[in-house]
């Protein structure tokens, strides 16, 4: 949890902010300074949290969130509650490598299918020098974020066994089955041999 949140005085002078309803203004200020916000300005925020903190009903919260989203102040997934303040990193930059490490850890918690992930990655790209090297793997050579489908395809390909691995597995399975068969057959052969020996040595053998 943060100890404080930074808000520039010109927040109140922006034309779009001046056009907001009072509820949207308060909610915008709340999002910038609330204990749920973090280094990324991207965090999970169920409507119930806001309703409890501001003593609003959920309908009022939903209406104010929709107003802020329409004005492109934020990107939000209604189902999961994940929320991104679009220009947060512009006013709250990653200042050093230690912050970069902390920011990257937070990034790993953001769902890959979050609707605002591409926007977040592009904002973070401005601070790539202060982020771990692993961050660069999230981008294609042309500088665009790697799409979720591409990342999942790469992951699936890396998890698929090679032809040699498949052949090895099949051989091991075959050999294991063959050994079990031989073990089952050996007692029968020994039993037959012992019975034959008893018959040959029997005094009643004609």
In a domain, 176, yes or no: no
Q: Which domain holds residue 126?
A: 9-155
Q: Which tops the pLDDT comparison, 187 or 140?
A: 140
Contact by Cβ (8 Å): 179, 172: no
In a domain, 160, yes or no: no
In a domain, 1, yes or no: no
pLDDT (average), residues 25-30:
98
Q: Is 92 exposed, middle or buried (0-12, 13-18, 19+ CB in 10 A)?
A: buried
In a domain, 22, yes or no: yes
State residue 152's pLDDT score: 47
State residue 115's pLDDT score: 97
In a domain, 190, yes or no: no
pTM: 0.69
pLDDT (average), residues 175-182:
58
State residue 185's pLDDT score: 60
Closest CA to 120 of 90, 151, 161: 90
Question: Which tokens sit at 142?
Answer: 């042309």
In a domain, 193, yes or no: no
The number of distinct structural domains making up the chain is 1
Give the span between the Cα atoms of 74 and 31, in whole angstroms.
10
| Beta-carbon contacts of residue 134 (< 8 Å; ≥ 6 apart) | 104
In a domain, 173, yes or no: no
State residue 181's pLDDT score: 59
In a domain, 177, yes or no: no
The share of the chain scoring above pLDDT 90, in percent, equals 62
Give the span between the Cα atoms of 28 and 74, in whole angstroms.
9
pLDDT digit string (tens) for 86-123?
999 999 999 999 999 999 999 999 999 999 999 999 99
């Amino acid at each position: 949890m943060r100890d404080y949140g930074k808000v520039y005085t010109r927040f109140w002078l922006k034309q779009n902010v001046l056009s907001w309803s009072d509820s949207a203004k308060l909610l915008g200020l709340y999002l910038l300074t609330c204990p749920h916000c973090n280094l990324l300005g991207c965090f999970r925020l169920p409507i119930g949290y806001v309703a409890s903190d501001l003593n609003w009903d959920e309908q009022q919260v939903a209406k104010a969130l929709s107003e802020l989203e329409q004005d492109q102040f934020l990107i939000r997934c209604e189902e999961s509650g994940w929320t991104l303040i679009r220009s947060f990193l512009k006013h709250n930059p990653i200042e050093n490598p230690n912050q970069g490490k902390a920011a990257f850890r937070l990034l790993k918690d953001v769902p890959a299918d979050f609707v605002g992930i591409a926007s977040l990655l592009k904002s973070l790209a401005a601070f790539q020098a202060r982020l771990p090297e692993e961050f660069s793997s999230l981008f294609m050579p042309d500088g665009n974020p790697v799409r979720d489908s591409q990342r999942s395809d790469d992951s699936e390909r890396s998890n698929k066994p090679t032809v040699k691995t498949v052949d090895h597995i099949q051989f091991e399975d075959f050999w294991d089955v063959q050994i079990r068969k031989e073990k089952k057959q050996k007692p029968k052969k020994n039993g037959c041999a012992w019975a034959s020996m008893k018959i040959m040595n029997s005094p009643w053998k004609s």
